[in-house]
Amino acid sequence: MTTSTIKVTLKRSVIGRPQNQVQTVRALGLRKIGDSREVNDTPATRGMIKTVQHLLEVEA
C-alpha cells in the first residue's frame, strides 16, 4: 500500500506570526521562503496545513 503525499511550499514569511504558526511551519519541515516538502497525506498533516494555509502553496 502506498501512502499519498502532498507537496507544500512556504510562500510567505513567518516573521511576526503567532508562535503556534511558526512552530507548525517548522513541524512541516519548512525553514525559508521557497522551501518545499513532500508530506504524508494524513488527517494530522491536513490540520497543520489548514492552520497555516495562508503562508503555504499546496499541491496534490
Sheet containing 5-10, strands listed edge to edge, beginning at the edge strand earlier in sequence:
36-40, 5-10, 56-59
Residue-range domains of the chain with CATH: 5-59 (3.30.1390.20)
The per-residue pLDDT for 3 is 82
Is 52 in contact with 24 (CB distance < 8 Å)? yes
Is 10 in contact with 25 (CB distance < 8 Å)? yes
The per-residue pLDDT for 46 is 96
Tens of pLDDT, residues 19-55: 999 999 999 999 999 999 999 999 999 999 999 999 9
The per-residue pLDDT for 1 is 55
Q: What is the pTM of this model?
A: 0.90
Among 2-6, 35-39, 55-59, which is the least confidently predicted range? 2-6
Mean predicted confidence (pLDDT) in 3-17: 96
pLDDT at 60 over 90: no
Is 8 in contact with 31 (CB distance < 8 Å)? no
